[in-house]
C-alpha cells in the first residue's frame, strides 16, 4: 500500500497519474476502514473507535515528504499517514480495534492501546537499536490531548545535536542532523498548555520540526470560537513568523485540507525549509471535515447544523480528490467506481482475516476448557453445578479470554472436595492461562534486559580529599561527559552557572552549549526534550530544578515516559534520566517530599533516592549502561556537606533495587531514605544511650524496592519495624510498608505493630520552625522508637510522657 513515488521537478504524466491513483486508493482504503471500524464498535466486536476519516489528503501529502530517519510524534487520527508509509495494513487496523495481543497481528501495541495509536518498531528482539536511518519512524502515540507535543521537541532537537556535536556514533540515528520531527495535532488541542510551551521552545531553539494542525473547526462538540482566539491558530501565531532577515521564528503555511496539489506543494516546501535551515514550520491545514464525528461515543449531528453538515459533504477531502482526478483526466468515473468497489471488498476481507486471527487462539483454549469441564462433570458430584458453565461455553462461539478464565475459575468453587486427575488438569490449565495472560497484558513495564544491581564501590586514596559533596557530583559528571559523547544535560540554570548548586560548575565552558545547556522555565518540555532525545539514541539527563517543580511535568512523565516500553510491548525505549533535588526543604511550595504521589504515577520509571552525592553519582554511572528511564532525587541539603572524593569517577556504581544497612542493631528495624537518614542516625546515637539499638536501612531506590528482600532478614532479627518518611501520611511510607509486609511477608516475624512516622498532613510551613514542626525531627524519631520499646518492655523503658 505504501506510496513509493517521490515528488520530482520533472515527472512524466504517466508516472504522476500512477502516483495520484495510488494516493486515491490509500485514501479510499483508509476511509473504508474508518466506516467499517465504526460498525465493528456498534456491533460489539470492538470496544471504542476514534478514526482518521476526513484527514486523509493532508496525511498523504505529509507522507510524500517524510524520509527515512524522520520521526513522527502524532495525533490519534493519523491512520492514512501510517498506511501511506507502509506501516499499517488493513489487518493491522482491525487487529487494533479488537485489541489483539499478538504483536505480529497488532504491531502498534499488542492490544495495549485503543486503535489509532501508532508506532514503528525501533528495537531488535534483544532490545538493541535497529538502524533508524533505514526506516520511517513513529514514536508511540498517547491519548492525552497535546501530550505528543513535548516529546516532539526532543525528537527535533536530536537532529540539532547530531549536526553540532562531534564524536557521537550516529550511524543508526542520523545523517548530519538532516532528519525532521513531524508533529500532528487537532486544532482544538492547540488550546492545551503543552502545545504553547512546545511551540515557544521550538521557536527559541530553532529545531527542524514540521507541525501540522488538522483543523475541522471542532473539539468534539465545541466550536473553534470557544477554543482559539480569532478562531485560527495561524492567525494567533503570526507573531512567530520569521521576518525577512530570518531571525528566530517559524515559517507558517496555511493550506486547505481538500486541495491535493496545494497540500503536496506545502509539505514539500515545509520539509525543504526545515531540513536544510533547521527551522520550525507550522502547517495550518484548514477546511477539514470529520464525517463520522469525534468518535463512536456519539453522532456529530447533535452539534452541527444542517448548513455545516451539507458543507462537510461537499468539501470532504476524498470527494474533492475524486472530482479533481476526473476533471484532470487521470481516471474516468467508471474506473474510479471500480477502484472503490474493489477496495470495499478488500477492507471487508481484511477485517475478517483480522478477526479470525484474533479469535483463533481463544477458540483453541475454548476447546481445551470445554473438554476438561465436561470430564469433571462426568466424574464428580458437581455435574449439576457445572452444567450451566458448560452450556454457556458451548453457546459462546467466539469467546474472549475473559469468558474462558471466568468460567474456569468459578467452576473451582463447586469441586473443592473433588481430587480427580481432571481437576489437576483444570488447575494446570488455569495456571498456564494466567501465565500467558500476565505476559500478554503485563510484560515490559520495565526495560530490564541488563543487570541493574551491579555494584562497583568507590575507590579512595589513602589520603583522599574531603570536599564539598557537590564536587563529587560535578567531577563525576565531568568524567561522564569526557567518556560518553552521546550524553548531554539541560535544565533551568544548568548551563552557564553550572546549576543552582554548582553540580555542573564549569562544564558548559568545557563541553559546549549543546551538551550542557540552559533552558527556559518550562518543565514539561524539558522532560519532553529528554524523551525525544532518548528515542533517537542519545543519553539525555533532563534537570528539573526542584522536586516540587516536577508537578509541571508530571503528566508527561506519567503518561508518556513511564508507559512507553509497556505500551509498545518492548518495541521502543526511552532511557532518559530525570535529575532533581529535594528533601527537607522549607515552605509549602518548596517542601520537596511529595514522593508518594509520584511513586503511584510513574510506575515504569526507576525512582532513586540517594542519601549523599557519592551514591547519586554511582546511580548516574549505573543508569548510563541501562535502558530504563529513571528519576533521581538528590538531597538538596547535602551539597555543602563533606564527602571523600573517589578516584574511580565515572566508574563506580550504586546498585539499583538493593538496600544498604548503614547501622546494625538488634531491637528495631528502621527503614528510610534520603536526608531523613541523617536525622535518624542522630536519634540512633541518643537511643543507644538509653539502651536501645536500632538497625537503620537505607532503601536507596524506591522503584524497584529491595529486590533481594533484605529488609525482612533484618525484621527476623529485630522483630519490630518502623518506616520513617518526610512525605505525608499514607505516602511513600505506606508504599514501603506494603512491600515489606505483603511481598516479603515480614508480618510473620513481628512482635509489635509495624508503624510509620511521617510528616504532618499539611505541607510544611516556612522557616526552621515550620520545618521542625511539620516534618519528623530527631526527637520525633527518638520518642516513636522509645514508645514501641516501652510497649514491649514497660519496666525497662518507662513511659516518657
Q: Would you say 693 and 665 are in contact if contact means Cβ atoms under 8 Å apart?
A: yes
Provide, rounded to the nearest whole percent, the portion of the chain with pLDDT above 90: 92
From residue 689, alpha-carbon distances to 679, 736, 786 in Å are 16, 29, 12
**What CA–CA distance (Å, rounded) separates 607 from 736?**
13
The C-alpha cell at 712 is: 525482612
**Helix or strand run (H / E) with residue 202:** helix 193-205
Catalytic residue of the set 117, 223, 590, 762: 590
- What pLDDT, on a 0 to 100 scale, did the predictor assign at position 94? 97
Question: Can you give 286-342 as a three-state secondary structure string?
Answer: ECCCCCCCCCCCCCHHHCCCHHHHHHHHHCCHHHHHHHHHHHCCCCCHHHHHHHHHH
User: 568-607: per-residue pLDDT in tens?
Assistant: 999 999 999 999 999 877 788 877 778 999 999 999 999 9
C-alpha torsion angle, residues 124, 130, 136, 142 (rounded to 10) = 50
- What pLDDT, on a 0 to 100 scale, did the predictor assign at position 139? 98
Q: What is the DSSP string of 743-790?
A: IS-GGGG-SS--EEE---SSPPPSHHHHHHHHS--HHHHHHHHHHHHH
**Average pLDDT, integer, range 726-736:** 95
Question: Mean pLDDT across the chain, nearest whole number?
Answer: 95
The alpha helices in 315-420, defined as continuous H runs, are: 317-327, 333-379, 383-395, 401-411
DSSP 141: P
User: 62-81: per-residue pLDDT in tens?
Assistant: 999 999 999 999 999 999 99
Q: Would you say 288 and 215 are in contact if contact means Cβ atoms under 8 Å apart?
A: yes
**Average pLDDT, integer, range 765-791:** 94
Q: Would you say 38 and 115 are in contact if contact means Cβ atoms under 8 Å apart?
A: no
CA neighbours within 13 Å on the CB side: how many for 67?
18
For 758, counting Cβ atoms within 10 Å of its Cβ (0-12 exposed, 13-18 middle, 19+ buried), the class is buried
User: 600-626: per-residue pLDDT in tens?
Assistant: 999 999 999 999 999 999 999 999 999
Q: CA torsion sign, 659 to 664 to 666 to 667? A: negative
Residue 86 backbone dihedrals phi, psi, to 5 degrees: 85, 20
- What pLDDT, on a 0 to 100 scale, did the predictor assign at position 4? 39
User: 369-399: per-residue pLDDT in tens?
Assistant: 999 999 999 999 999 999 999 999 999 999 9
- What pLDDT, on a 0 to 100 scale, did the predictor assign at position 76? 93
- What pLDDT, on a 0 to 100 scale, did the predictor assign at position 5? 39
Q: 3-class DSSP state for residue 451? A: coil
- What pLDDT, on a 0 to 100 scale, did the predictor assign at position 34? 96
**β-strands 660-663, 694-698: how paired?**
antiparallel
User: 16-64: per-residue pLDDT in tens?
Assistant: 899 999 999 999 999 999 999 999 999 999 989 899 999 999 999 999 9
Q: Is 590 a catalytic residue?
A: yes
The answer on pLDDT for 1 being more than 90 is: no
- What pLDDT, on a 0 to 100 scale, did the predictor assign at position 247? 75
Q: How far apart are the first and last CA of the chain?
A: 80
- What pLDDT, on a 0 to 100 scale, did the predictor assign at position 10? 59
The answer on pLDDT for 715 being more than 60 is: yes
User: 4-16: per-residue pLDDT in tens?
Assistant: 334 445 568 888 8
**Average pLDDT, integer, range 420-426:** 96
- What pLDDT, on a 0 to 100 scale, did the predictor assign at position 635? 95
User: Where is pLDDT greater, at 491 or 591?
Assistant: 491
**Average pLDDT, integer, range 216-241:** 94
User: 444-465: per-residue pLDDT in tens?
Assistant: 999 988 899 999 999 999 999 9
User: 246-283: per-residue pLDDT in tens?
Assistant: 678 999 999 999 999 999 999 999 999 999 999 999 99
User: 495-528: per-residue pLDDT in tens?
Assistant: 999 999 999 999 999 999 999 999 999 999 999 9
- What pLDDT, on a 0 to 100 scale, did the predictor assign at position 294? 86
Amino acid at each position: 500500500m505504501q506510496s513509493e513515488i517521490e515528488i520530482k521537478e520533472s515527472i512524466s504524466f504517466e508516472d504522476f497519474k500512477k502516483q495520484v491513483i495510488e494516493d486515491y486508493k490509500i485514501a479510499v482504503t483508509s476511509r473504508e476502514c474508518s466506516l467499517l471500524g465504526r460498525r465493528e464498535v456498534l456491533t460489539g466486536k470492538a470496544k471504542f473507535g476514534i478514526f482518521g476519516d476526513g484527514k486523509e489528503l493532508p496525511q498523504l501529502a505529509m507522507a510524500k515528504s517524510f524520509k527515512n530517519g524522520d520521526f513522527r510524534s502524532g495525533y490519534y487520527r493519523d491512520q492514512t499517514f501510517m498506511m501511506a508509509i507502509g506501516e499499517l495494513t488493513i489487518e493491522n487496523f482491525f487487529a487494533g480495534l479488537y485489541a489483539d495481543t499478538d504483536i505480529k497481528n497488532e504491531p502498534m501495541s499488542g492490544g495495549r492501546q485503543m486503535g489509532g495509536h501508532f508506532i514503528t518498531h525501533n528495537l531488535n528482539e534483544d532490545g538493541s537499536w535497529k538502524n533508524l536511518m533505514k526506516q520511517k519512524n513513529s514514536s508511540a502515540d498517547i491519548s492525552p490531548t497535546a501530550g505528543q507535543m513535548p516529546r516532539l521537541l526532543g525528537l527535533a532537537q536530536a537532529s540539532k545535536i547530531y549536526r553540532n556535536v562531534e564524536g557521537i556514533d550516529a550511524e543508526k540515528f542520523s545523517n548530519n542532523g538532516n532528519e525532521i520531527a513531524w508533529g500532528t495535532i487537532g486544532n482544538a488541542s492547540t488550546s492545551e498548555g503543552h502545545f504553547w510551551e512546545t511551540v515557544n521552545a521550538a521557536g527559541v531553539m530553532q529545531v527542524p520540526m514540521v507541525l501540522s494542525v488538522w483543523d475541522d473547526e471542532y473539539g468534539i462538540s465545541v466550536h473553534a470560537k470557544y477554543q482559539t482566539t480569532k478562531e485560527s491558530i495561524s492567525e494567533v501565531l503570526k507573531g512567530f513568523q520569521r521576518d525577512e532577515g530570518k531571525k528566530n521564528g517559524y515559517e507558517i503555511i496555511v493550506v486547505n485540507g481538500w486541495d491535493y496539489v496545494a497540500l503536496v506543494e506545502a509539505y514539500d516546501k515545509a520539509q525543504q525549509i526545515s531540513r536544510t535551515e533547521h527551522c520550525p514550520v507550522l502547517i495550518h491545514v484548514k477546511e477539514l471535515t470529520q464525517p463520522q464525528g469525534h468518535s463512536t461515543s456519539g453522532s456529530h449531528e447533535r452539534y452541527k447544523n444542517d448548513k455545516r453538515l451539507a458543507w462537510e459533504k461537499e468539501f470532504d477531502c476524498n470527494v474533492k480528490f475524486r472530482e479533481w482526478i476526473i476533471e484532470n483526466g487521470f481516471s474516468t468515473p467508471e474506473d474510479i467506481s471500480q477502484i472503490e468497489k474493489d477496495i470495499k471488498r478488500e477492507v471487508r476481507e481484511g477485517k475478517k482475516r483480522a478477526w479470525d486471527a484474533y479469535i483463533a487462539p481463544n477458540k483453541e483454549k475454548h476447546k481445551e476448557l470445554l473438554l476438561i469441564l465436561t470430564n469433571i462433570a462426568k466424574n464428580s458430584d458437581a455435574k449439576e453445578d457445572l452444567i450451566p458453565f458448560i452450556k454457556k461455553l458451548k453457546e459462546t462461539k467466539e469467546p474472549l479470554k475473559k469468558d474462558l478464565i471466568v468460567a474456569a475459575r468459578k467452576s473451582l468453587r463447586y469441586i473443592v472436595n473433588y481430587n480427580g486427575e481432571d481437576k489437576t488438569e483444570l488447575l494446570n490449565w488455569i495456571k498456564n492461562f494466567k501465565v500467558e495472560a500476565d505476559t500478554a497484558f503485563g510484560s515490559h513495564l520495565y526495560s530490564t534486559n541488563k543487570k541493574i544491581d551491579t555494584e562497583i564501590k568507590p575507590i579512595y586514596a589513602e589520603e583522599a580529599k574531603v570536599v564539598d559533596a557537590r564536587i563529587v557530583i560535578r567531577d563525576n559528571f565531568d568524567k561522564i561527559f569526557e567518556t560518553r559523547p552521546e550524553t548531554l544535560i539541560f535544565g533551568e540554570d544548568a548551563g552557564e552557572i553550572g546549576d543552582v548548586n554548582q553540580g555542573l560548575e564549569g562544564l558548559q565552558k568545557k563541553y559546549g552549549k549543546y551538551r550542557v545547556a540552559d533552558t527556559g522555565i518550562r518543565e514539561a518540555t524539558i522532560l519532553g526534550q529528554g524523551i525525544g532525545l532518548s528515542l533517537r539514541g542519545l543519553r539525555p539527563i533532563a534537570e528539573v530544578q526542584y522536586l516540587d517543580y516536577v508537578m509541571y511535568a508530571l503528566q508527561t512523565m506519567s503518561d508518556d515516559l513511564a508507559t512507553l516500553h509497556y505500551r509498545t510491548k518492548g518495541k521502543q525505549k526511552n532511557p532518559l534520566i530525570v535529575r532533581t533535588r529535594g528533601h527537607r526543604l522549607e515552605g509549602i511550595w518548596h517542601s520537596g517530599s511529595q514522593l508518594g504521589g509520584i511513586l503511584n504515577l510513574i510506575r515504569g520509571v526507576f525512582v532513586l533516592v540517594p542519601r549523599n552525592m557519592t551514591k547519586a553519582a554511582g546511580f548516574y554511572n549505573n543508569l548510563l549502561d541501562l535502558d530504563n528511564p529513571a528519576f533521581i532525587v538528590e538531597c538538596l541539603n547535602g551539597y555543602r556537606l563533606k564527602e571523600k572524593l573517589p578516584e574511580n569517577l565515572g566508574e563506580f556504581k550504586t546498585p539499583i533495587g538493593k538496600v544498604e544497612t548503614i547501622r546494625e542493631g538488634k531491637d528495631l528495624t528502621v527503614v528510610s531514605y534520603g536526608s531523613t537518614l541523617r536525622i535518624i542516625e542522630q536519634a540512633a546515637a541518643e537511643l543507644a544511650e538509653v539502651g536501645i539499638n536500632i538497625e537503620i536501612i537505607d532503601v536507596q531506590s524506591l522503584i524497584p524496592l529491595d529486590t533481594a528482600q533484605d529488609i525482612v532478614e533484618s525484621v527476623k532479627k529485630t522483630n519490630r519495624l518502623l518506616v520513617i518518611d518526610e512525605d505525608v501520611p499514607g505516602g511513600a511510607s505506606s508504599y514501603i510498608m506494603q512491600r515489606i509486609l505483603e511481598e516479603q511477608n515480614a508480618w510473620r516475624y513481628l512482635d509489635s505493630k509495624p508503624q510509620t512516622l511521617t510528616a504532618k498532613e499539611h505541607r510544611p510551613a516556612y522557616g526552621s520552625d515550620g520545618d521542625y514542626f511539620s516534618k519528623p525531627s530527631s526527637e520525633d524519631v527518638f520518642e516513636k522508637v522509645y514508645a514501641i520499646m516501652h510497649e514491649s518492655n514497660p519496666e525497662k523503658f518507662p513511659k516518657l510522657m
